[in-house]
Amino acid sequence: MAVKTAGDAPAFTPEQLQSVRGALMSPRRLKTEVLGGLVVALALIPEAIAFSIIAGVDPRIGLFASFTMAVTIAFVGGRPAMISAATGAVALVTAPLVKSHGLDYLVAAVILAGIFQIVLGLSGVAKLMRFIPRSVMVGFVNALAILIFMSQVPELMGVPWLVYPLTALGLLIVFGLPRLTKAVPAPLVAIVALTLITVTAAVVVPTVGDKGALPDSLPSLSLPNVPNTFETLQVIFPFALAMAFVGLLESLMTAKLVDDITDTRSAKTREAWGQGVANIVTGCFGGMGGCAMIGQTMINVKASGARTRISTFLAGVFLLILVVALGDVVSLIPMAALVAVMIFVSVATFDWHSIRPATLKALPKSETAVMAATVVVTVATHNLAVGVGVGVLVAMVLFARRVAHFVTVERSVTEDDGGRATYRVDGELFFASSNDLYTQFEYALDPERVVIDMRDSHLWDASTIAALDAITEKYRQHGKSVDVVGLNQASALMRERLAGRLGAGH
């Protein structure tokens, strides 16, 4: 239900702002969605062309892929306002396939990747997002901001000197205009203003048209011309699987980031299989495939303030109109304008709070190490999936190492009934913490009866059972008996099932 704020301006909950119907009924909100889609479309053009070059295909392949991905995901995706299109990550994965087997095999791999994503989505792969720590997420965001900035550096190297004042003017507009008014997206104003200046003054600077020829016709439905054989499947299978995982990881991470920005929840499972549907549609139109684009998503959500599927849909529609019907006009846009917009996006995306001295001092060193590892690996490899994977691995290792030190063993000896040593184990026992358990006992000094009290611990895996077996065997070699008591039901059942079957090695 809408409420009234000071000045009688209607206020909406974050969930209501995602309503397509609500946006269509509000001219102000609809304008935000339309302009957001237009700005994203303008920013998509040079990106799609650049990614096509990386993949080794004609620029039209990347542009058409961006159109079909954006339009399809607007209907089937699980995260409103998120932009999906041709991406650098997918281009890097598929480039070797294009080089070795050509475009048709790429298209076949895109369709197969879409099938994999649907299967993974329906099987619940999106639920694995809960295992990605916040420190990895922060590292992912910061690395992405750095990569966005780094991708703009080549556009400022070896160019006419007029590019630099134009870029500076663009930055002044995108950073300064929102302080005066938010009626029109600042990135759109920067693009229009710099284009008018360069055209009116007839200055020669790099433009969008210099990136490659824009298409002059609509995409057509066509299936890949490849043999329907097992050999073809062997060729495309590894590329399709890699594309599916990379695309899902980037898309789900981006969806989680937008969730945080908009204070809403997205349907991660729907987003996962929706990406698969979008890639299948893209493949059927001869596109190079793609996934969520965090840079363009940040332009749409953060810079433009869009919140619904309308902006995503219009981004694709405007892209097609711009490159097909208005290609001559779009080709005049100076790259300096788009560079300014992307630098703004990188600054807005970076989590500056995460690197403040006060924040770093308050955080555990392990959290900082995980964030740093994610950033360094991602920037070094230019692959967000690899960076996130390494970050999660480092987080797991550091967590296991930390938890391993939480286990304590207390020894007490009584002289009644011929003497008895009691060991009280406190803490969670798993592969990391149980490795040191074997060394915590006085095998030679203990009396003939030994009791291991486990009432304050829990056995989580086979490594712990093997450790208990090794302890029991060591005491047996010394002619002493061991009783393990106090196990909870789950631990007792696990020990009953595995004891004596894992070997007594340690």
> Which pLDDT belongs to residue 503?
58
Mean pLDDT of 162-166: 95
Span 170-215, pLDDT tens digits: 999 999 998 888 777 788 889 899 999 999 999 999 998 887 777 8
> Which pLDDT belongs to residue 202?
92
The band of 417, judged by pLDDT with boundaries at 50, 70 and 90, is low
The 481-485 sheet, strands edge to edge: 408-414, 420-429, 449-459, 481-485
Percent of all residues in the chain with a pLDDT value above 90, rounded to a whole number: 46
Count the alpha carbons within 13 Å of 180 in the hemisphere toward its beta carbon: 10
Query: Taking the CB of residue 347, how many other CB atoms lie within 10 A of it?
Result: 15
Q: Is the pLDDT at 262 greater than 70, yes or no? A: yes
Q: Is the pLDDT at 277 greater than 90, yes or no? A: yes
> Which pLDDT belongs to residue 110?
96
* CA neighbor of 434 nearest in space, from 460, 473, 398, 397: 460
Q: Is the pLDDT at 477 greater than 60, yes or no? A: yes
Burial 280-300 (b: 16+ CB within 10 A, else e): bbbbbbbbbbbbbbbbbbbbb
> Which pLDDT belongs to residue 453?
94
> Which pLDDT belongs to residue 311?
96
> Which pLDDT belongs to residue 355?
92
Span 286-297, pLDDT tens digits: 999 999 998 889
Span 356-386, pLDDT tens digits: 999 888 888 889 999 999 999 988 987 777 8
Span 310-339, pLDDT tens digits: 999 999 999 999 888 888 888 898 999 888
The band of 502, judged by pLDDT with boundaries at 50, 70 and 90, is low
Q: Which has more pLDDT, 152 or 32? A: 32
Span 91-112, pLDDT tens digits: 878 888 998 999 999 999 999 9
Which stretch of 31-45, 107-121, 400-414, 468-482 has the lowest confidence by average pLDDT? 400-414
> Which pLDDT belongs to residue 242?
85
Q: Is the pLDDT at 163 greater than 60, yes or no? A: yes
* CA neighbor of 247 nearest in space, from 272, 282, 283: 272
Highest mean pLDDT: which range of 29-38, 40-49, 87-96? 29-38
Name the average pLDDT for the chain: 88
Residue 439 falls in which region: left (phi positive, over 0), alpha (psi -120 to 50) or beta: alpha
| DSSP annotation string for 331-394 | TTSBHHHHHHHHHHHHHHHS-GGGGSHHHHHHS-HHHHHHHHHHHHHHHHHT-HHHHHHHHHHH
Q: How many helices (H) and strands (E) does the chain have?
A: 19, 8
350: Cβ contacts below 8 Å, ≥ 6 apart: 141, 142, 145, 146
Residue 185, class by beta-carbon neighbours within 10 Å (0-12 exposed, 13-18 middle, 19+ buried)?
A: buried
Q: Is the pLDDT at 165 greater than 90, yes or no? A: yes
Percent of all residues in the chain with a pLDDT value above 70, rounded to a whole number: 96
> Which pLDDT belongs to residue 6?
39
Tokens (6 digits) for 344: 């703004």
> Which pLDDT belongs to residue 309?
96
* CA neighbor of 59 nearest in space, from 208, 279, 211: 211
> Which pLDDT belongs to residue 123?
92
Highest mean pLDDT: which range of 165-169, 326-330, 392-396? 165-169
> Which pLDDT belongs to residue 404?
67
Tokens (6 digits) for 149: 């900035």
> Do the bridges between strand 420-429 and strand 408-414 make them parallel or antiparallel, or are there none, so unpaired?
antiparallel
The band of 35, judged by pLDDT with boundaries at 50, 70 and 90, is very high
> Which pLDDT belongs to residue 486?
92
